[in-house]
A and B are shown apart, each in its own frame.
Chain A
């Protein structure tokens, strides 16, 4: 059906982002009933991240432990899904006091190794959900702002990452839920690859460099490249 001549209402990226974030986070930490729907943005990556965050907040509530966050301008919840398999296996009961939760708190020291942002803090699940929601809305606003019809055939946007070192492999993380394990491209510098629109952080790893993340956040679009000034 032709839409020529018909006046289209202006797109409300922030409103759409809030509506989707509300739907994704409805009953989080309780019984979620989110059902995936076809949209004009790619959402599978976000849906998977929210599923992981939901499971992790449930665990923190069950055992009354804080949710780890990195501290930048405001806390960003950390995706600790690589540890999560254990939590269903009753690992805590197998640890002896007083070390019972020490190792969990050490998530902080291990994360400090991948960035220059100092300490990792543990906050309540309710606060973690609030920060997650804020970051998710910002991320989705950027993604909605780049929307096109039939997004399913769009590979995302081409993006360049420049590092000071050469021969490195670049990794990325969504800015609302820190997870440094996503591979972008190699070897630097520069590296060009495709990425879905959103708000991201970048880091790099190499033969003589452990994984390091730049604390800057990049809106893609409008940005088309990131220069990691300290890596």
Chain B
């Protein structure tokens, strides 16, 4: 507990002094452990035969485990119906899978209700409508949605997850459960907005704070994307990916 508190105090002092809060870059151990953990999390992903068992580590992992569970279920669904998975594509960046939970939530309910045949009949229409909706949502922010094949999307997910975990391992303190994460500020040009964030390996949005600007919130170490929305501002995504730590703040220039 003392070490966790010291990590937090050290981070605050460095942030206050405007110093790089990283302390150290990722070590060989961080990279190796991130790869090993990624392999374990993604073993048999999408096959319906994952056997991952959660273990105590010196990083917070529940959020990542939930994202991988979700991705696993969505892959099984995609294999069954389409073989293609949408990804967010930007120049000079690896594609990032976008969560299909709006599609799979309905699928899950219909399956539980033994009405899966309804979903099969509807799927082609639904998928087209859903894709049109998310393309509209994201193109407004200047990013593109592209469909990738099953095997490719696992590679993209793996690549993003490994990089995310390297950042998280590089910021580790012992007994991470004592740590609420790192305090992070987000600035927007407009006021009164609510800021959302997503892990950079899988686009699924969560609330950080409101109202801007700035907003501060606690976030576990990793690589993240940010977006904002408000009464007179559509949901808009910032193009940048932020490494936390060493970053302590993000400036969203397009909102």
Contact = CB atoms under 8 A, between A and B. Distances in A.
B207 A48 contact: yes
Contacts of B102: 82-86
B130 interface: yes
B122 A91 contact: yes
A187 B106 contact: no
B110 A183 contact: no
Interface residues of A, number: 51
Contacts of A86: 102, 106, 126, 130
A92 B211 CA distance: 36
Contacts of B210: 36, 43-44, 47
B93 interface: no
Contacts of A99: 115, 118
Interface string B97-127: 0000111011011101101001000100110
A183 B62 contact: yes
Interface stretch (B39-47, B49-57, B144-152, B244-252): B49-57
B130 A89 contact: yes
Contacts of B194: 36, 44, 47-48
Given A82-B105, A88-B133, A103 B208 contact: no
B63 A183 contact: yes
B148 to A, nearest CB: 21
A61 interface: no
B218 interface: yes
B138 to A, nearest CB: 14
B239 interface: no
Nearest to A185: B62
Nearest to A99: B118
B104 to A, nearest CB: 8
Nearest to B218: A155
Interface stretch (A2-10, A127-135, A137-145, A191-199): A191-199
A109 B112 contact: yes
A143 to B, nearest CB: 14
Interface string A176-207: 00000001111100011110000000000011
Nearest to A32: B231
Tell which of B51, B103, B112, B183 has the most Cβ of chain A within 10 Å: B112
Contacts of B211: 35-38
Nearest to A206: B54
Given A44-B194, A110-B108, 15 more contacts: A36-B193, A38-B211, A44-B207, A44-B210, A83-B102, A86-B126, A88-B133, A103-B106, A103-B109, A106-B109, A169-B54, A183-B63, A192-B177, A193-B60, A207-B52
Closest A-B pairs by Cβ, 3 of them: A155-B180, A82-B105, A85-B102
26 contacts: A36-B194, A44-B195, A44-B209, A48-B207, A82-B102, A83-B102, A85-B102, A86-B102, A86-B106, A102-B115, A103-B113, A103-B115, A113-B112, A152-B215, A152-B216, A153-B183, A153-B216, A169-B54, A169-B66, A185-B62, A186-B62, A186-B65, A187-B54, A192-B177, A192-B178, A194-B180
